[in-house]
Structure 1
Amino acid sequence: MASTYIWHKLYLYRTKISLLTLLAILIVAPAADAQKRINTLNKPDYDFKTIHYGFYLAAPLTRYHIQHSQEYADQLAADPAGGEGVINVNTKFSPGFYTGLVLNVRVADNLDARFVPGVGFYSRKIEFANMPQETGEVQTEDKTISSTMVELPFLLKFKAKRRSNARMYLVAGVKPGIDLGSARSDENPDRGLAVEKFDVALEYGFGVDMFYPFFKFAPELRFSHGLINQHKLTQSQYSRLLQKQTNHNISLILFFE
């Protein structure tokens, strides 16, 4: 009797039971599929290959780190209050762009050697406030030095343990570079700035390797500090106010390997 009663109830509520069952399937199935995707390693044999290739795109913020000359210090000492006759020289951050190729060589389980040659396009600015003009007036001028650099970074990459399809890493190394042109702010030697053609920079940064089914994507934040004085002394009054310029970059780099 009890069994008949139960089947009778199930028959009465068969529509509701069917809808609830269908709803449960619609909820559980996507969740199970998502969990399966999370647990699936993309490119599981990636780290066992000796050599990898790729390319990168980078957006740097760049500026000069400057040291003022004795002539600058003397004119400042003559007017400690910093009146209108005092020239002030400061640098500004400017955007740039560089791109290149990647050759990555596996050295050990958690260590890679990387050669990432590229071409960079930079425009670095130095602001000269209260500069005397030929008309006798003073005004603020921005001197922009544009350069096209061939850069040859050699880096070591220290990798953390891979967690599913991502891992953190650190990178550090040196970056030699050569300017393809004669970089200067003005063709007029009496009113322009000029810089050296060669540079070497110390670089370091961090990033995240993210593995996808067909490639690895890695956003990286890298800092670059030039080691060679780029200032080339000329007879220009602008040039005489400086004695040292070194290149400094903060770059967001996107790697595709």
Structure 2
Amino acid sequence: MKKIVILIVALVFAQHMSAQLFTKEKVQNLQNFDKPRFSWGYILGFNSYDFNFDYTSDFLDEDIEVKNSVGFSVGLLGNMRINDYLDLRLEPMVTFTRRDLTFSNPLFTSEFETFREVRSTYVHIPLLLKVSTKRINNIKPFIIGGVSTSLNLSSNEDNPDDNSVGEFRMKTNTNYYEIGFGIDLYLYYFKFTPSIRGVFAMTDELVRDNDPNSPYTSTIDKMSTRGIFINFTFQ
């Protein structure tokens, strides 16, 4: 599903850019749209979160399989224009996602022991710098990057129960860096911006089990989120 969505977005990019770049100059829509210092919008999108596991030196073979799925994102946009090519953006959003973990420890004999479903609802707040090219007819490609923080409303960090009774716990707060690209499409009535962005956690998110020799968490040195956001912004 994720690959299909990415392919569709890439095809739309290619078709629209080809139409704009390889035809004669056209009348520009929304010619003064980018002139104000501040502008606003809203965001709808898809996400796919994954986990990256680093293991301790005593256990270097990966034993946790992660199956991710396509989630949903909704948020707001606040944009501050610096100049014709630079914008500072705040994009607070709520994201919903699910990851399934399968532990392959030979000590486990039942699905209750090997399987953990991790559903997460994040309040995700990125602060991003957008670097755009010169506008060409009714398109303006850009790259974007920055840092972000999130509040995981489903973390279970303070839950006294752990994996011994089926509770997989994560830390509530996480910091990330983000990088991506997109294209502003100036339509007749509004500006539409599809974009793709990679999100990478900078901190360890795992809350370890109460038993220091837990077969679930004792071999993990670090667990961090990585993900892909496909956003559609309307201004």
TM-score, normalized by the shorter chain, greater than 0.5: yes
- Distance in 2 (CA, whole Å) between partners of 1:199 and 1:43 is 38
**Corresponding position: 1:66 with 2:53:** yes
Unaligned 5+ runs, structure 1: 1-34, 77-86
What is aligned with 1:157? 130
- The structure with the larger Rg is 1
1:44 maps to what in 2?
31
Task: Tell me the matched-pair count.
Answer: 207
Contact preservation (8 Å) 1:159, 1:167: yes
| 2:86 is the alignment partner of 1:111 | yes
SS of residue in 2 equivalent to 1:67:
strand
Shift of 1:70: 4.9
Structure 2 residue aligned with 1:242, among 201, 220, 224?
220
Question: Quick one: which of 170, 179, 203 aligns to 2:152?
Answer: 179
Greater share of helix? 1
1:85-100 matches, within 5 Å, as 88-100=63-75
Gaps of 5+ in 2: 1-22
Distance in 1 separating the partners of 2:106 and 2:183: 46
1:132–1:138 CA contact under 8 A, matched in 2: no
- Read off the aligned partner of 1:49 and give its amino acid letter: P
The DSSP-based 3-state class of the residue aligned with 1:152 is strand
- Tell me what 1:251 maps to: 229
Cα root mean square deviation, aligned: 2.6
| Paired amino acid for 1:146 | R
CA distance in 1, matches of 2:69, 2:117: 10
Q: Does 1:224 align with 2:202?
A: no
8 Å CA contact 2:196, 2:231 repeated in 1? yes
Closer, same or farther in 2 for the Cα pair 1:195/1:226, shift >3 Å?
same
Deviation at 1:213, TM superposition (A): 1.3
Partners of 1:177 and 1:252 in 2: how far apart?
18
Q: CA deviation at 1:60?
A: 1.2
Contact 2:68 2:98 in 1 (8 A): no
Work out the percentage of aligned pairs sharing the same amino acid.
Answer: 25
Residues 1:226 and 1:188: Cα distance change in structure 2 (over 3 Å): closer
Change (3 A) 1:153 1:255: same
- Normalised by the size of structure 1, how large is the TM-score? 0.73
* 1:244 aligned partner, one-letter code: K
Structure 1 segments, 4+ long, off by >6 Å, are none
Please, which moves more after superposition, 218-227 or 243-252?
A: 243-252
Q: What's the TM-score, normalizing by structure 2? A: 0.79
Counterparts of 2:130 and 2:205 in 1: how far apart (Å)? 28
